[in-house]
Amino acid sequence: MIQNADTAPGPGKAVRKVVIAGGGTAGWVAAMSLSKYFEGLLDITLVESEEIGTIGVGESTVPPIVAFHRALGINERDFMTQCAATFKVAIWFENWGRLGDWYLHPFGRYGEPAQMIHFYHFWLHAREKGLKVPLGEYCYEWLAAVKNKFALRENPRINYAYHFDAALYARYLRKFAEQRGVKRVEGKIKTVRTRDGDGFVESLELESGKILDGDLFIDCTGFRGLLIEGALKTGYEDWQHWLPCDSAVAFQTRVDTPAAPYTACHAHTAGWRWNIPVQHRVGNGVVFCSQYMSADEARALLIKDSGGAPVKDPWLIKIKAGRRKQAWNKNVVAFGLSAGFIEPLESTSIHTITTAAMRLINLFPFGGVNDYVRDQYNEQTRYELERIRDFVVMHYHYNQREDAPFWKMCREMEIPESLRTRVELFRQGGYVYSKDNELFTVDSWLSVTMGQHIQPRTYNLFAGQANQELKAFMTQHRAKVAEVVNALPTHADFVKQYCGASEAAWLVPGGESGEKAR
């Protein structure tokens, strides 16, 4: 229910009271971040209901979360122990480019650049001269994933992210946020009260009758977007014509094999299946396009291919790729699923929550909400989500699978011009780029571009001028990577030694993994 009220914060009014609607990963990341940076400056209240279910798919991350945690003062070993976390150095893709093949998207760099030229140009030249060694063997993270090895080290550093239980993560962040003064209110939102005239949100009325008034509201209510869409009618930019998977079924299984240091993404006839290992269980799911596969078929596929004893029955999730037309509208800022959704193929959902938090901290409207700050926030959000969208669309469109109508449809669909330009730059001249503040690096784009069998017609010919030294250059670097990785312990052994914990630490009364969905 949406009502108008007589008064509400408007442009120019100082912002001191922040109300976060919704908990889960998005809500508690927002609460933890704001309370860490603005302790004593803001009155922060978070409202959530234990009765409301959770999505349960956000358990895999990308490397920037490591720096995010450091900025918040989170102790890595303690976090990993409390959240049943494991390490992640890559994403494994199987059956994407062609049926029966595989490739890795590692979180590191291929080789070392020389004379300001990316290493892959030298590899392309060496391949032209007969080299049979995969590009991945020049990357520490690629080889660590293949060999199931990992350890924390420097010089060279092994880049990593995490797999973790999202319900435990929300609980973990909640503890620190409440220690910094964040007030948690249990309850369901009944009414969003807005003001006549400018439509700014004034307060939330709960089913209990309690009123929560604020100057700035953060919407973490999931796909529904109770404030950003329900109250403000912001609108949604639909991307399903580029990302056609509209459903997922998910469940968790008990651990029966050592956890691998990567997320596995196996393509099937109408989408793909994920496998995410944490310490006490494995998260499994099937993402699919309902035009080509039914929910019952997806459930059967999930159960057949996941293996292990299920923790509970699979549940269905309806998804819709796209973004809110404004992530910040009036005095409401949307985080997580409320702001938009790009399917979990490249594990970016939690990342976009953390970047939203840091963006809001940098642009926080202490002096009052104004169009300049709001427009800058929205532009940065749009740019980030569109670049991630293009990267994910590339996996679907550039396929050579002939076994299923779904893949033919993906191959024939129109794609964003921004993606087509990137791919053609690589195809025509071997040129890969990544702009400032983009999530995916040159090496990330290279991994997926070549993994999807997109080959450059030429490369930077400077790499061909070092013919006499090239063999030694390539051999030495490959040997160094192998020496470092071979000396690492297994990933499972390192996790047990570094952050293993008893199952009692992982029990969440009534808890599920994932972001709150309202």
Q: Which sequence positions are flagged as catalytic?
A: 88
Residue 70 Cα distances to 73, 77, 97, angstroms? 5, 12, 37
Rg (C-alpha) for the chain, rounded Å, is 24
484-487 — which CB contacts under 8 Å span 24+ positions? 484/140, 484/153, 484/156, 485/140, 485/143, 485/144, 485/147, 485/149, 486/147, 486/149
H-run or E-run covering 202 = strand 201-206
Residue with tokens 């520490």: 140
Q: Is the dihedral of CA 382, 385, 391, 396 positive or negative?
A: negative
Cα distance between residue 327 and residue 147, in whole Å? 41
The single-letter DSSP state of residue 114 is: B
The single-letter DSSP state of residue 90 is: E
Cα distance between residue 461 and residue 442, in whole Å? 19
Instruction: Classify residue 146 as exposed, middle or buried by CB count within 10 Å of its CB (0-12, 13-18, 19+).
Output: middle
Strand order in the sheet with 236-238: 236-238, 322-324, 340-341
Question: Which residues neighbour 361 within 8 Å (Cβ) at sequence distance 6 or greater?
Answer: 33, 34, 37, 38
Contact 123, 50 (CB under 8 A): no
Contact 444, 105 (CB under 8 A): yes
Query: Phi and psi dihedrals of 351, rounded to 5?
Result: -60, -45
Cα distance between residue 29 and residue 17, in whole Å? 17
Which of 349, 356, 380, 393 shows the shortest CA–CA distance to 62?
Answer: 349
Q: Is the dihedral of CA 275, 276, 277, 279 positive or negative?
A: negative
SS3 percent helix, strand, coil of the chain, rounded to 5, is 40, 20, 40
The single-letter DSSP state of residue 13 is: P
